[in-house]
Amino acid sequence: MKITHRKKTMDSFIKFWSKILIENPDFNMNFLSDSIYKNLTRWYDTEEELTHDNRSCGNFDEWINYFDKKDNIEVDIDKEWSYFIQFVNKKEDLFENNNLIKLYIPIDSNCIKDGVKALFDFLAKENIAHISKIGKHTRFDNITIRVGSEEDAKKIMEFVNSCDQIKEGMLPPDPFAFSEEDIALAVDGNLSYTNTITEYISLYLTECKNNNTLEEANLDGFIEFIKQYYNTTFINKIDTTRIFKDFRTNSSNAANKANNLKEVTELFIATLDEDFTFEQFIEHFNKCNDFETVKKSKLEFFYTLVKDDVDENDIEELIAYTVNTMTQKMTIEEAINQLKNYIYVGNPAYISKVSGLRNYVVENDLRNKILIMLDKENITIEDYFEQMLPKNEVLIEEDPVIDEVLPIEDISTKTKEEYLISTIMETYEKFEKKYKQGEYEFSGEKHVSLALFQLLALNKYDGFTNTSGTRDALIENVSREDAIEIMMEALKYSKIDTEDRKIQELLSTEYAKYIIEETYKKEKNK
């Protein structure tokens, strides 16, 4: 879609919604973003007319049966995400990217059945690594494909534009996204590009409504709004409080999500240039996957997180409730120390499930509230609990997972780094298997990051598996200080405070991801 036509369509859409809000002054603004999203994904007309095509995209069972015995493709429906059918090949090959290239290939309901077969037959034949999904209804994002390289993206675009079965039913692309040959492209990490843009539209129209300027709302105003938002929120001062409030983002993996939001915003602004090209899109993609660039950006967000004012009385009430509830299953000393471990490590498994307590603690963000308060008061967890609760002399450690201990092989020639990596991978494989079988609530990578954080924060090794005596060997050969040195060298960190809890958490998360990805890459290249 040419930029001039794109801008005309974007302007029409914004004016369409400003008109709705003018004509409906009592519109519930809490639902504005969701309503805009649903309408935008079906906005096929260039004028102010909304096309509703709620016909089915195709028969999911038919596609499952069709691809059942074909090589290089897995097709299935996640019970927790049944609106979509998923198509995947060589997912592990995509681990090396922080961000993937997302291609939107919208096909109408008349052509989608055969178009999907042709498209994914091609991907299977070329053995392209991808993670893809198709929704139940006709939308401009009804077929979404994620790939890890420029080469694969080009192959798909060339095929789509040469396949009559697909071209005949192609719908117009998302006007708010850059498109090449009518295929919209995005890089959005763990976010949704379309959802992010609709959040921005909602924020802009809300501001117009509050300022009584809805009649003046248009694309130029929207672009100016986004540019000002970007400068004031990401450049002049990193305002994570505003980000999480405006984009309804929770604290889970907050630095990564904030960084992805910045990248999506930069991409949208860049694509407004009439001369923006596919090559420039790839430059943006490469920047989003440059280790040093991403690391620096995440660190900036990490240092500005959790700066809100927190009511200490509310925290004390939450702590008292948590400890009192946990004493239904343990002593008060055990309950306090389990809570301390949760605050240190961040693993909700330390909180008892009794009376729905674990969900309650997580939903009320107790850990972050305590950490914010500790930073504000400049005191340690131990000092805080000594002040607030009766002094406790007993320190109860969590029960470690008892694994079968086998004779330790002669590995005296191993380096300290090799000890650490082999322990990480054995731990990863064990807990990733449990996670995939539904026996454990965290992925293998998440468990490894928690185990590393426990080592850095508490000098405890209990999170690592002891199959084949790997944990015992790690304890004997790799100290906490050794681990920090190894991790910093691998991630190319130098002048950072490794006693800072936030830095320890960042190191643990980044190193777990790095080692798992590097190991898969080495196995792939053997």
Residue 184 to residues 86, 154, 272, 481, Cα–Cα distance (Å): 19, 13, 14, 48
> Which pLDDT score, from 0 to 100, does residue 240 have?
75
Q: Give the C-alpha separation, 202 to 208, whole Å.
A: 10
Q: Give the C-alpha separation, 185 to 171, whole Å.
A: 15
> Which pLDDT score, from 0 to 100, does residue 1 have?
56
> Which pLDDT score, from 0 to 100, does residue 482 have?
93
Q: Give the C-alpha separation, 249 to 395, whole Å.
A: 36
* Regions of the chain where pLDDT drops below 70: 1-3, 44-58, 95-98, 248-254, 295, 298-300, 302-313, 372, 375-376, 388-413, 468, 495, 522-526
Tokens in use for 329? 């299953």
Cβ atoms within 10 A of the Cβ of 64, count?
A: 13
> Which pLDDT score, from 0 to 100, does residue 114 have?
93
- What are the residue ranges of helices labelled H in 305-443? 312-326, 332-345, 357-363, 366-377, 381-388, 416-436
Q: Tokens 């889970």 appear where?
A: 252
- Three-state DSSP state, 497: coil
> Which pLDDT score, from 0 to 100, does residue 413 have?
61
17 CB-near residues (< 8 Å, 6+ apart): 36, 39, 201, 205, 217
CA atoms within 13 A on the CB side of 57: 25
DSSP H or E run through 227: helix 219-230
pLDDT tens sequence across 302-333: 556 544 445 666 777 788 888 888 888 888 88
> Which pLDDT score, from 0 to 100, does residue 87 have?
96
Is 282 in contact with 150 (CB distance < 8 Å)?
yes
> Which pLDDT score, from 0 to 100, does residue 376 have?
67
SS3 labels along 428-483: HHHHHHHHHCCCCCCCHHHHHHHHHHHHHHHCCCCCCCCHHHHHHHHHHHCCHHHH
pLDDT tens sequence across 419-446: 899 999 999 988 888 878 777 777 888 8
Provide the strand spans (E) within 58-97.
74-76, 84-89
Identify the CA nearest to 223 among candidates 269, 273, 276: 269
517 CB-near residues (< 8 Å, 6+ apart): 95, 96
> Which pLDDT score, from 0 to 100, does residue 406 have?
35
> Which pLDDT score, from 0 to 100, does residue 405 have?
35
